[in-house]
Structure 1
Amino acid sequence: MKRINEYKKLFNVEKDIDLKQLKSSYRNLVKEWHPDKFQASDEKAIEAELMSRQIIDGYHFLVSIAPETKAANLDEYNETINSPIIDWQHKGLVLEITFLDGNTYEYFGVNKALYIKLCQSDKLTRFAKRNIFNSFTYRKIKKSEVEA
């Protein structure tokens, strides 16, 4: 959640992410912080390089969790969450789940207590469908190696 809020603040995004507004903000920030605007020996050039990387990462991250992106990929997501879970990891408030079809998704805001319940569940996919898949902000982080 902290990462989402940092990127939203960077791009001046209020509640919902609008892709058109996000793209406009992205272009303006890239123009402002492009490393080629600064002398190579200048201290600002190093800062600009770091900022431009953060801007690019933030843009791709916010696009991946935008409602429009989720709506466009909803059929694929629904197919994936019906696939068995083969691996899961919890880091902070981020739960990473890998499915049998090869796709991996991150779910943001999943607390440790819910993660422990997931680990102790007899039927992982059923538990996750009821408590995680449609309750938390998610994004696809890895595509399957084999596309059908």
Structure 2
Amino acid sequence: MKRVNKYKKLFSVEDKIDLKQLKTNYRNLVKQWHPDKFQEGEESHIQAEIKSKEIIDGYHFLVSIAPETKAENLEAYTKTISESGIYDFQHKGNVLEVSFLDGTTYEYFGVNKALYIKLINSPKQNRFAKRNIFNSFLYRKSKKDMELQAV
């Protein structure tokens, strides 16, 4: 959740993410922090490169968790969590990353260590995750694992 709040603060986003406003804020920030505006080799140029990478990463992250994006991908997400089993999962901080047998990977934010331990100890992990994690936490599709698709 730190990452979510950090990016929301960077883009001056209040509660709900509005893609149109997010895009406007993104463009303004990119103009402000573009490395070409600063002398190459100076400290300000290096800071601008770091800041612009953070802006780009933040934009893509916030777009992936926006309500419009989630609504567009709801059918595919529902199909994945209902028809595909869990291939692998890992927990870091309060983020649970779950890879499914269909090759998709989702990140779930706010999953604490106690719930993760319950998932590990559950005899039916997929069932436990369906009931307690998949529809209870903020999520985003993080990547597509091409190796799993080939299997």
Q: Per the shorter chain, which TM-score range? A: over 0.9
Identity of aligned residues (%): 71
1:86 Cα offset (Å)? 1.2
The count of aligned residue pairs is 147
Q: 2:142 and 2:135 mapped to 1: Cα distance?
A: 17
Read off the aligned partner of 2:29 and give its amino acid letter: L
Question: Equivalences for 1:108-147 in 2 at 5 Å?
Answer: 108-145=109-146, 146=149
- Corresponding position of 1:7: 7
The TM-score, its normalising length taken from structure 1, stands at: 0.96
- Corresponding position of 2:17: 17
Read off the aligned partner of 2:131 and give its amino acid letter: R
Misfit runs of 4+, over 4 Å: none
The TM-score, its normalising length taken from structure 2, stands at: 0.94
- Corresponding position of 1:100: 101
- Corresponding position of 2:53: 53
Q: 1:80 and 1:139 mapped to 2: Cα distance?
A: 13
1:144 Cα offset (Å)? 4.5
SS at match of 1:139: strand
1:41 Cα offset (Å)? 2.5
Q: 2:90 and 2:144 mapped to 1: Cα distance?
A: 17
Gaps of 5+ in 1: none
Read off the aligned partner of 1:41 and give its amino acid letter: G
Read off the aligned partner of 1:34 and give its amino acid letter: H
Q: 2:5 and 2:116 mapped to 1: Cα distance?
A: 22
Gaps of 5+ in 2: none
Q: 1:142 and 1:59 mapped to 2: Cα distance?
A: 16
| Deviation digits for residues 72-119 of structure 1 (CA, Å, limit 9, x no counterpart) | 000100111121101110101000001010111000000011001101
Read off the aligned partner of 2:51 and give its amino acid letter: M
1:42 Cα offset (Å)? 2.1
